[in-house]
Structure 1
C-alpha cells in the first residue's frame, strides 16, 4: 500500500477537499458522455424532463444505443446526480423495447446535464450533532400501464445537508388508496434507515 494523498479523482468523480468541505461532481464524466453520444454541442435544458406518461409512438429505435445512454445516466444518478433519478427510473422501464419518444426524453436528460454541469454534492463538517433526516413521498397509481404507485425517499445527516442516500421505484403491489401508497412508501423508507 502507498499513500497517494487526498483523493482528487476516482471512477469518474472529481473530489475537492477544502476547510472541512468535500465537494463531489461528475463534470468530466458528463462531458465524456455528451461527446460519446454526439451531444457536445446541444442546447442545454433547465429541467430534467418533459416526460409524457403515455407513449403514442410505435417507431422503435436501436435498443443498444438507448441502453448505453440509460446506463450512463444511471451511473451519474447513482454517484452525484439524484436530481435525475425519477426520469431515469421511468426511462429504465423501456429498455427492452424503446421507442422514439423514449430516446427524445433520454436526450433531453443529456441536455439538462449539459446545462447543469457545475452541480455538485457538498459535504460539510458539522459542529452540531448528526441527526438522520428522512423524507418520503408516494404518488398513487401513477403508472398508466399497471396502476402501481411510485415511492421515493432520501436521507441526509443534517438539516439542509446533502443527500446521502436516495431511491425512487415502483411499489411492488397495487395500492388501493393514497393512504396505502403513502404507508408503503413510509415502510420502505423506514426499512432503509
Structure 2
C-alpha cells in the first residue's frame, strides 16, 4: 500500500494505513480470509480435504464433523449434537457469525427435508430466469430438444446476443440440481459468440420445458449400498455435423444417489467410436478417482471396487487388454491409465445395454419415453413435500 497521488502527507510520506482486517476490495482478501479461517479450524483438530480444499473434517473416535466453506457461507453437520453445539460456540466466539438453523437455502439451492431424505431444488432461481425471459406464462413442453436435433451456426443472427448469453449462463448454474437439462445446455453454450435465431428458439424450448417442471429437483435418500460407486459412461460419436467432434457424458452414483454428472464436447476429433468411448471411459475414471479420494477424506469406506458401465464392448475390451494394436496406437498415452486401474483391481468395467445406459441423456436428444425414464433414474422428480401437502401438480403428466 502507498499514499494516493495528490494526498501525500509531507511529514510522513512513507506512512500507510495499518491493515488490521482484510478488505473485500483487495485481491488478497479471499486468500487472507481462508488462511485465517483454516488456521482456526486446524487448531481445533480439523484437517483440510486434499480432494476439496473447501471441505474440513473433524474425526475423533466415532465422532465426526463436516464443514463446507464457500467464502463466508458455511454448512456444518455431524453425528454428535453436543459436539456440534460446542464447536458452534467456539466459532461464534472467534468470528462474527450467525446461526441460521437447519439447512434450507444455500447459494441459491433450496434444501427441503422429506420423510425419507433430502430434496434439493432451485425454484426461486428458476422463476427469476423465466421472469427475465418474459416466459413465466409460456406453454410447457415435454422434452428439451427435438429428437436427433443438431444445432448449427447457419441462419440469421439473433438481435440480442447479451440476453442469449445471460440466459445460457443462468442455465449452467441451474444444472446443479437439474442434470436432465445438461445436454441441451451444453448444446446452446457452444454458440455464445454468435447466436442465431434458431439458437434462441432452442433456449426458449429449454425455458418452456423447465416451466413445466418447476417443482422438479434432485432427491437424496438413505441407501443400503452406501459406499458403492457405480458410473455410467457414454459417448455420441461425431455428434456435431460441423466440427465432426463427439460429445461424452457420465453419471456417477453413490449407492442409489446421483452425486456427479457431466455433458461435454470433446476438444479433438476421434477416428472411431471405439476410440472415443475408450477416452470417455478414461475421463469418467478420473472423476471416479477424485470421488474415491473425497470419500476417503469423509471417512466413508468402499466395500468393493467402483463399477464403470459402458455400452461399447470394444472400449471395454480395450480397457482390459494390454496388447497394443492399430486401433489403439494413436490414442493419447494418458488415457491408458484406465488400463492400469483395471489391471490393479482398483476399477471394474462392465457392459450395459444401450436402453439402460443412463448417461445417454447427456450425449444426445432422445425420444420422450426414454427421456422420462432416464430422468427418473437420475432421481430428478417433483418436490415430494408438495404432494403430501396437496401442492402444485405437475403440468406434464
Q: Same-fold call, TM > 0.5?
A: yes
TM bucket by the smaller chain?
over 0.9
Measured in 1, the distance between the counterparts of 2:150 and 2:269 equals: 21
After superposition, give the CA deviation of every residue in 1:67-124 in whole Å (9 maximum; x if it has no partner).
01101111101x2011111111110110010000000000100000000112111111
- 2:277 aligned with 1:182, yes or no? yes
Give 1:29 shift: 1.2
Pairing partner for 1:57 from 145, 148, 155: 155
1:37 deviation in Å? 1.1
What does 1:145-160 correspond to in 2, within 5 Å? 145-158=242-255
Q: Which stretch of structure 1 is more off in the superposition, 80-89 or 16-25?
A: 16-25
Decide whether the 8 Å contact of 2:157 with 2:194 is kept in 1.
Answer: no
Matched, 1:102 2:196: no
CA separation in 1, counterparts of 2:114 and 2:213? Answer: 22
Structure 1 unaligned residues grouped into runs of 5+:
none
Of structures 1 and 2, the one scoring higher in RCO (CA 8 A, sep 6+) is 1
- Give TM-score scaled by structure 2 length: 0.46
Contact 2:158–2:200 at 8 Å: present in 1 too?
no
Q: Which has the larger radius of gyration?
A: 2
User: Do structure 1's residue 87 and structure 2's residue 184 form an aligned pair?
Assistant: yes
For residues 102-181 of structure 1, the aligned pairs below 5 Å read 102-158=199-255, 161-181=256-276
Of the three residues 167, 170, 190, the one matched with 1:69 is: 167
The residue that corresponds to 2:109 in the other structure is 13
Which consecutive residues of structure 2, in runs of 5 or more, have no partner in the other structure? 1-96, 289-397
- Aligned positions, number: 190
The runs of at least 4 consecutive aligned structure 1 residues that moved more than 6 Å come to: none
Q: In the alignment, is the contact (CA less than 8 A) between 2:150 and 2:240 conserved in 1?
A: no
- How does the TM-score come out when normalised to structure 1? 0.92
8 Å CA contact 1:171–1:184 kept in 2: the answer is no
SS in 1 for 2:228: coil
